[in-house]
Structure 1
Amino acid sequence: MCGIALIVSGIRLELSALLLHLHSTPQALTSEQLVFSIDDLKAALRRRGPDSLGSKKLFLHHPRVSCPLQILSFVEGQRVVENEEFGSQQIGEGTYCFPSENGRTSEVPNSAAELHFIGATLQLRGTSPIVQPLIDASRNILVYNGEIYGGLHIGSDENDTEVLLQTLEKCCSCNSHLNNRICHCDERGKLSVVDVLSTLKGPWAIIYWQDRTRTLWFGRDAFGRRSLLVHWPTVEDPRFLLSSVSPISSIEQSSDFEAENGTTNLRFWEELPCGIYSITVACPVHDGFMVGEVKKHEWTDAMLEELIKWERNCVEPKPEDLHASRCKIKTLRGQNGMHSALSDILPCEAAPIQASVPVAAESVLFALRESVRRRSSLHTIFQADTCGVQKDLVPVAVLFSGGLDSMILAALLHECLDISYEIDLLNVSFDGQTAPDRISARAGVKELKSIIPSRKWKLVEINSDLSTLTFETKHVMSLISPANTYMDLNIGIALWLAAGGDGWVYEGHSSSNYCQRIKYKSKARILLVGSGADEQCAGYGRHRTKFRQGSWVGLHEEMKLDMQRIWKRNLGRDDRCIADNGREARFPFLDEDVIKLLLDIPLWEVADLNQPSGAGDKKILREVAQLLGLYEAATLPKRAIQFGSRIARESNRKNFGSNRAANQASAGSVVISTKSGVH
């Protein structure tokens, strides 16, 4: 999809139950007051290039006011007023008017609270366009940003959001969640809202008004693969806000120095912790405010609970386990006759496997293949957009460094996408052709072409100079917020530029000494990203450190910590930076089935950090790469995008004077403040 937002005013929130659940305190706004308007949020979402942008304003009245609930709809310049009693009518700009009993119009009655929903839709599924927010016959309102790959059946001609709204309309409305009572509606064939959301597979963020219970539901999936920021009410700003992204206008309101450095809104927003939340608006009114208690609900799907706990049964190997595992990989590497494990799908381009290979790696290959297929199958892409379009359309691209993870995704995408389509490989560099990621990307494309010559691969080389990115840096600061370190900024800029897909491609054949450099901008709306591979397969340097300090148990605990905080450290930030370019990030390594499978595999089969870098780290993914015939990629060491693109080096020189000074200051973790700034 694209993005969602909500502004709630006139409701006093009771947060005590939530604070007990989260064991933390929502951040208070300690800097100057920031004023976000509905137009600011719309502008931030409109930047993402949605196919449609709409909003609905819901008015809640005091119980003493005898007036039906009113909903105002706004769709790209036109306003539609919907009234429970009188139906709907279009009105022009100006005063909001409603029909009265005598047929005349009247002003909107004084309301105790307002809820303003905004939905921006990048349509990627279904056969007809939709405009969010959606409202059903029961006057429930939904804005949804996500994809559904399981848990709820979505037909090949259906849209996720529409099907989800239909399902939620059938949910129980007994309000058992208010007092933690057991819901018995399932005995009558009804599920709760929590039940429905708990079973969804795929990334999502949601805001849903259940009218019958006067309950606002909101939340994000268990791994935080879709961004959702929250502003809890403060003395300075008593509104409750949710948004997929922070508006850049907050920076423009600040002083000249702060505006230049983009630092003022860092404490206004926070990442909403993963989970399902509700606010039921009660009738009592205190000081002119309605009252709503915020509650966080437990997931009701047993498998999802297991994935969140991220516990592995087999952590510490016996000596014979390690010996057997290492013998298997030696056998696999010694198979000179094996070309690719794709022979069953592409018999003309791959030779059969000539000897036994690790069963675990084959299982992971199968799970990853299905994960990529779910995220790239054309029947799940907005069909009205692809019908009759020429076959050179690029529906899916890969964030591409030429490293292990992106090479696996590129090879699997080839399997899942019709051979007539091109595949764009987006690569960013801050050091021209000499950046490590540019060198490995070119080598990676060469390897892909050697084993899959029938596919047209396009390496999109995106070159940038950090010293010229003044406005862009300020803008990316708003995107990464509330993340606020130099490392976050470096990663954010690199991701934002790469996802923009605006670079150069080389056309022609090097063998004929004719190769033309052509300006090119990718039109792909879906971007496959390798996030989650390092966390689950021990790809970071700190994993090796923990292994040396605490052996296998220490390694497992560090990987568990990474997976349980990935929503806060990585995914929200990355989703915002990529979505700003009108593309949707999809994370095949974070598919629920892939996560479960990797947890079921003994840790020493996933990684063996007794082995050197480029072998023992992410061992199972290296085996998967070899099954795909990617022998060169299978030996590449891990390299983070900020180092591979060399933006970290340029940032260190720009902001600290030298790499040495930056290292001494631990520059990556330094918080960008008005004292240090982004020079």
Structure 2
Amino acid sequence: MCGIGLIVTGVPIRGHLGPGEAEASGFSCQRSPKSAEPVGPNYEDLCNGLKRRGPDHIGGQVLHLSPPIQNLEKSESTEHPHPHPTTRNEPQTGTLIDCTSNAENPPPVATPEGDIAVDLGRCGLSESTGGARLQFVGATLQLRGDKPVQQPLLDSVGNVLVYNAPPDSARIAFSAARTLGSDLLADFVTQAVSRTLWFGRDAIGRRSLLIHKPSSEDPRLLLTSVAPERTKHEGQEAHDDAAHMSSYWDDVTCGIHSITFKSTLKDGSMKQNLTPASCLRDEQETGTVKPAEHLEGWARVHDWHDPLLKSLLAWERALVTPTEELTRYHLTGSDQESPAKRILEALCRAVKRRTESIRIPKKCKELLHSVNSRASSTLADVRNEQFSPLAVLFSGGVDSMILAAIADQFVDPDATIDLLNVSFEGDFAPDRVTAISGLSELEERFPLRRRMPGMLQNARTLWLAASGVGYVHESPSQRCQGQESETKPVQSEARVLLVGSGADEQCGGYGRHRTKFKQGGWVMLDAEMRLDFNRIWKRNLGRDDRCLSDHGKEARFPFLDEDVVAALLNLPLWDVVNMEEPAGCGEKKVLRQVARLLGLKSASSLPKRAIQFGSRIARESNRKDFGSNRAANLANAGTVVLKEFASS
């Protein structure tokens, strides 16, 4: 996975992706004149934004849709078009985007099927007149398997797929696109026969997908994994581009969306359900195609068909409020650890799915075995010769400790696991203290695993963590005991990051959860947790995915695995979180029990800190904006002038 992009021009979009009501009157999404510069990014900007992620391959494809072509004679080749000399239904790849390549692209082949002519033009060709142009770009970060996979995927009948998903899943989706239609989910798929563009995000929204809906300011439809900077042209006015672009993009809502392109006849009616043969000749059997006035795209949102996904999105828990009968049964149960065991089993499956398929080159495996077989090898020796397939965003808290401990079971035993910790106050920030302490506990619990504790400082928290640039203590155990330890600069080579997102939302890890419990008991606590889970895609996941991917890393979220979410919902709420217990015990109760099952006794009792507070980035931001942390608190909380109440 790495990223995708799509620009649709030359066709009005109707439905939920069309212009707002204020703009709908007299609005047209037709192409702007060539002299008019679009306010948003162009195709080159999308490509450059994806290149920042360091993909192994980036490719593009241009698809032209136009009303039927007049005087197109019926023939074998038009009834059964094969635009590429390939085995039918065998996926092929699009054009490699390489600035150093000067190879000429092959000419496009017009393949009229249904009521719209399809032109599988290659990148860089001039756009067809009177129709729509779809410009696809897909970037691939090869993290699974040894066989290179390139995007976009094409087949002989004109289907196109670009994806931000594992290659195996993408091929399955591409196969389904030819037959199933609305039952598939992939990021962008175009079906040649039905003239339909499918796009969407998974049900939880773990991957970023942004949309610019057509507007009078910019009539194009844009979809992309990144929010690229717009190229500044000579003579262009400088303005606050960041502020402007923040209102330019929206997050695509989780789910499946489609746009069906249809041609409109002169009387305004839509041509539907036409076979290729019926479009190749008019009513008098003259062998010509009737011209249509223009194309329109009709957008729809589709419901999930998977019962598991429907139940997860409803986020309904059977047991919320403990009654005397339920608690008595629970307390007399024979297996007191069964809730934690069930969650641990689900987390193990989730981490295994996200780690065991990471590609480790054979040469790296030989180096790893050679270095680790030398008993006298130092930390520097390992760093100079090893390959780290995996990193954990590591605060030393219960979430990251659990992920690091479980990952130990599924990552190659000769490989190193990088633990990335962020601090804005050196070794005195709370997250730095707990990280060093947590590392010591992991070393004691899993002595055979080599870990590289990368200590990162002074930058934007998540974005910096993904860079993996910092330093490492040669002897973290000495540093944990307050002794001086030599440090060396380091950069993590891991391209897969395990992140603990979703743990707090599902297990009551936020301070406001305790506040809601005090205000309205178990019912209000459950409602607040449901609200947090249902908005995590918009508040956190899309942004986090873009930050972490900017350095060529792929974030993976075990706590948001569907099996883990289902397992947590199947537990009574009081087994997941219990705000009647004190801080450090009641919040994320079930995860603390999981940590104890893994032998992580110290981590199981640590209080929750958000990354902005544990790393001290919040304090640094307050100092910059307000002069001090206290001044920021007063500014945000408001102040009362006491003398106004002196006489009252």
1:517: how far off? 1.3
Q: Deviations over 1:74-123 (max 9, x none)?
A: 5324453364479xxx99997x4xxxxxxxxxx87524110000101111
User: Could you say which structure has the larger radius of gyration?
Assistant: 2
Distance 1:116 1:564, change over 3 A: same
Asked if 2 retains the 8 angstrom alpha-carbon contact of 1:322 and 1:604, the reply is no
Aligned to 2:90: none
Task: Find 1:362's aligned residue among 337, 341, 363.
Answer: 341
1:304: how far off? 0.7
Aligned to 1:24: none
The runs of 5 or more residues in structure 2 that have no matched partner are: 21-36, 73-77, 85-93, 112-119, 269-291, 370-385, 638-648
Aligned partner of residue 240 in structure 2, secondary structure: helix
Counterparts of 1:3-22 in structure 2 under 5 Å?
A: 3-16=3-16
Provide the C-alpha distance between the structure 1 equivalents of 2:633 and 2:71, rounded to a whole number of angstroms: 66
| 1:596 and 2:566 aligned | yes
Task: Find 1:500's aligned residue among 452, 467, 475.
Answer: 467
Aligned to 2:67: 62
Distance 1:446 1:323, change over 3 A: farther
Q: Deviations over 1:229-288 (max 9, x none)?
A: 0000000110000010111237999865725xx322111000011010000000117897
Q: Give the letter for the 1:545 counterpart.
A: T
Asked if 1 retains the 8 angstrom alpha-carbon contact of 2:67 and 2:294, the reply is no
Asked if 1 retains the 8 angstrom alpha-carbon contact of 2:6 and 2:136, the reply is yes
Task: Find 2:176's aligned residue among 167, 174, 177.
Answer: 167
Q: Normalised by the size of structure 1, how large is the TM-score?
A: 0.75
Aligned to 1:212: 193
Distance 1:252 1:640, change over 3 A: farther
Aligned to 1:610: 580
Provide the C-alpha distance between the structure 2 equivalents of 1:631 and 1:252, rounded to a whole number of angstroms: 59
Task: Find 1:305's aligned residue among 307, 310, 319.
Answer: 310
Aligned to 1:271: 251
Aligned to 1:258: 240
| 1:459 and 2:439 aligned | no
Provide the C-alpha distance between the structure 2 equivalents of 1:384 and 1:267, rounded to a whole number of angstroms: 47
Distance 1:393 1:536, change over 3 A: same
Aligned partner of residue 267 in structure 1, secondary structure: helix
Aligned to 1:381: 359
> Which has the larger displacement, 296-305 or 412-421?
412-421
| 1:290 and 2:290 aligned | no
Aligned to 1:102: none
Asked if 1 retains the 8 angstrom alpha-carbon contact of 2:440 and 2:477, the reply is no
Q: Give the letter for the 1:381 counterpart.
A: R
Counterparts of 1:73-88 in structure 2 under 5 Å?
A: 73-77=95-99, 78=101, 80-81=105-106, 83-84=108-109
Aligned to 2:50: 45
Asked if 2 retains the 8 angstrom alpha-carbon contact of 1:53 and 1:75, the reply is yes
1:73: how far off? 3.3
Asked if 1 retains the 8 angstrom alpha-carbon contact of 2:18 and 2:214, the reply is no
Distance 1:82 1:517, change over 3 A: farther
The runs of 5 or more residues in structure 1 that have no matched partner are: 21-31, 97-106, 148-157, 172-191, 198-204, 329-354, 467-492, 668-679
Provide the C-alpha distance between the structure 2 equivalents of 1:511 and 1:293, rounded to a whole number of angstroms: 64
Counterparts of 1:393-472 in structure 2 under 5 Å?
A: 393-464=387-458
Distance 1:62 1:389, change over 3 A: farther
Provide the C-alpha distance between the structure 1 equivalents of 2:338 and 2:319, rounded to a whole number of angstroms: 16
1:509: how far off? 7.5
Asked if 2 retains the 8 angstrom alpha-carbon contact of 1:315 and 1:604, the reply is yes
Q: Deviations over 1:180-223 (max 9, x none)?
A: xxxxxxxxxxxx233233xxxxxxx6011111100000000011
Q: Normalised by the size of structure 2, how large is the TM-score?
A: 0.79
1:524: how far off? 0.6
Distance 1:660 1:514, change over 3 A: closer
Provide the C-alpha distance between the structure 1 equivalents of 2:169 and 2:408, rounded to a whole number of angstroms: 25
Distance 1:16 1:454, change over 3 A: closer
Asked if 2 retains the 8 angstrom alpha-carbon contact of 1:18 and 1:295, the reply is no
> Which has the larger displacement, 124-133 or 263-272?
124-133
Provide the C-alpha distance between the structure 1 equivalents of 2:500 and 2:399, rounded to a whole number of angstroms: 6
Asked if 1 retains the 8 angstrom alpha-carbon contact of 2:260 and 2:297, the reply is yes
Asked if 2 retains the 8 angstrom alpha-carbon contact of 1:12 and 1:289, the reply is no
Asked if 2 retains the 8 angstrom alpha-carbon contact of 1:113 and 1:289, the reply is no
Q: Give the letter for the 1:10 counterpart.
A: G
Distance 1:363 1:251, change over 3 A: farther
Aligned to 1:224: 205
Provide the C-alpha distance between the structure 1 equivalents of 2:457 and 2:311, rounded to a whole number of angstroms: 43
Aligned to 1:280: 260
Aligned to 2:222: 241
Q: How many residues of Structure 1 are paired with residues of Structure 2 in the alignment? A: 549
Aligned partner of residue 266 in structure 1, secondary structure: helix
Asked if 1 retains the 8 angstrom alpha-carbon contact of 2:263 and 2:294, the reply is no
Asked if 1 retains the 8 angstrom alpha-carbon contact of 2:183 and 2:305, the reply is yes
Provide the C-alpha distance between the structure 2 equivalents of 1:445 and 1:594, rounded to a whole number of angstroms: 25
Aligned partner of residue 225 in structure 1, secondary structure: coil
Aligned to 1:475: none
Distance 1:237 1:19, change over 3 A: closer
Provide the C-alpha distance between the structure 2 equivalents of 1:146 and 1:138, rounded to a whole number of angstroms: 23
1:654: how far off? 0.7
Aligned to 1:579: 549
Q: Give the letter for the 2:211 counterpart.
A: V
Q: Give the letter for the 2:544 counterpart.
A: D
Provide the C-alpha distance between the structure 2 equivalents of 1:640 and 1:242, rounded to a whole number of angstroms: 31
1:585: how far off? 0.3
Identity level (%)? 46
Asked if 2 retains the 8 angstrom alpha-carbon contact of 1:250 and 1:264, the reply is no
Distance 1:444 1:387, change over 3 A: closer
Q: Give the letter for the 1:137 counterpart.
A: S
Provide the C-alpha distance between the structure 1 equivalents of 2:122 and 2:508, rounded to a whole number of angstroms: 58
Counterparts of 1:516-531 in structure 2 under 5 Å?
A: 516-531=486-501
Distance 1:82 1:407, change over 3 A: farther
Distance 1:138 1:382, change over 3 A: farther
Asked if 2 retains the 8 angstrom alpha-carbon contact of 1:214 and 1:281, the reply is yes
Distance 1:641 1:250, change over 3 A: farther
